[in-house]
Amino acid sequence: METSFLFIFSFLLLQRFGSSITATSSNVTCIEGERRSLLAIKHKITDRYNVLSTWSGVECCEWRGIGCDSRNGHVVKLDLRNPMSLEDLRNGPVSWEDEKWLEGELSPCLQNLKHLRYLDLSMNFLSGKIPEFLGSFESLEYLNLSGSVFGEGAVPHHLGNLSRLRYLDLRSIFIFDDGGANFPAPIVDDLRWVSSLSSLRYLDLSGITIGNHTDWFHPVNMLPSLLTLNLADTGITNIPSTQFVNFTFLNSLDLSMNYINSTIPIWLSNLTGLMHLNLKENSFHGKIPDFIGTFNALASIDLSYNSFKTLFPNLLCNLSSLVRLDISNNMFSGPVPSNLGLLLRLEYLNLGYNHLSGPIPASLGLFSKLKKLDVSGNSFVGVLSETHFTNLKNLIYLDLSLSSLALNFSSRWVPPFHLQKFSASSCSNIGPYFPNWLHTQTHLQRLDLSNSSIRGTLPEWFESILSHILYLDLSNNQIGGKMPLFHFNTSELISHETTLKMNSNKFEGSLAAFPSNVNHLDLSDNLLSGDLPQTVGTMNLSLHIVNLSKNRFTGNIPVDLCKVPSIEVLDLSQNKLSGRLPECLGNLSNLEAMDLSNNTIIGVVTHDIALAQQ
CATH number where 538 lies: 3.80.10.10
In a domain, 596, yes or no: yes
Strand partners, 202: 167, 228
C-alpha dihedral (188, 5, 14, 227), degrees to nearest 10: -50
Position 296 pLDDT exceeds 90: yes
Name the residue among 613, 611, 574, 564 with its Cα closest to residue 593.
613
The pLDDT confidence band at residue 182, using thresholds 50, 70 and 90, is low
The pLDDT confidence band at residue 1, using thresholds 50, 70 and 90, is very low
The pLDDT confidence band at residue 113, using thresholds 50, 70 and 90, is very high
What is the percentage of the chain residues whose pLDDT exceeds 90?
69
pLDDT computed for residue 126 by the predictor: 85
Amino acid at 325: L
pLDDT computed for residue 568 by the predictor: 95
In a domain, 579, yes or no: yes
Q: Around 370, how many Cα atoms within 13 Å sit in the side-chain half-sphere?
A: 28
Q: Yes or no: say if 322 and 350 are a contact pair by the CB < 8 Å rule.
A: no
pLDDT computed for residue 4 by the predictor: 46
DSSP for 167-219 reads: EEE-----EE-TTS-EEPPPB-S--GGGGG-TT--EEE-TTSB--TTS--HHH
pLDDT computed for residue 340 by the predictor: 94
Q: What average pLDDT does the chain have?
A: 88
In a domain, 545, yes or no: yes
d(CA 267, CA 446): 42
pLDDT computed for residue 586 by the predictor: 83
Instruction: Look at 181-195, 505-519, 593-607 and tell me which has the smallest mean pLDDT.
Output: 181-195
In a domain, 46, yes or no: no
The pLDDT confidence band at residue 97, using thresholds 50, 70 and 90, is very low
Overall average pLDDT of the 298-305 stretch: 98
d(CA 319, CA 300): 10
d(CA 126, CA 323): 38
Q: Is the pTM for the entire model greater than 0.75? A: yes
Range of the domain at 593: 510-614
In a domain, 533, yes or no: yes
DSSP for 392-429 reads: -TT--EEE--SS--EEE--TT---S---SEEE-TT-TT
Of the chain, the end-to-end C-alpha distance in Å amounts to 48
Position 33 pLDDT exceeds 80: yes
- Per-residue pLDDT tens over the stretch 378-413: 999 999 999 999 999 999 999 999 998 888 888 889
Position 179 pLDDT exceeds 60: no
In a domain, 580, yes or no: yes
In a domain, 498, yes or no: no
Strands 103-104 and 45-46: antiparallel
The pLDDT confidence band at residue 180, using thresholds 50, 70 and 90, is very low
Burial label, 91 (beta-carbon count in 10 A; 0-12, 13-18, 19+)? exposed
Cα 461–chain centre separation: 32
DSSP three-state, residue 1: coil
- Per-residue pLDDT tens over the stretch 504-562: 999 999 998 888 889 999 999 999 999 999 877 666 678 999 999 999 999 999 988 88
Overall average pLDDT of the 136-144 stretch: 96
Overall average pLDDT of the 34-42 stretch: 96
Position 155 pLDDT exceeds 60: yes
Instruction: Look at 48-62, 144-158, 377-391, 575-589 and tell me which has the smallest mean pLDDT.
Output: 144-158
pLDDT computed for residue 539 by the predictor: 65
pLDDT computed for residue 443 by the predictor: 94
Instruction: Look at 93-102, 474-483, 493-502, 544-553 and tell me which has the smallest mean pLDDT.
Output: 93-102
pLDDT computed for residue 560 by the predictor: 87
In a domain, 586, yes or no: yes
Position 16 pLDDT exceeds 80: no
The pLDDT confidence band at residue 451, using thresholds 50, 70 and 90, is very high
Task: Domain count for the chain, please give it.
Answer: 1
The pLDDT confidence band at residue 289, using thresholds 50, 70 and 90, is very high
pLDDT computed for residue 176 by the predictor: 41
Position 611 pLDDT exceeds 60: no
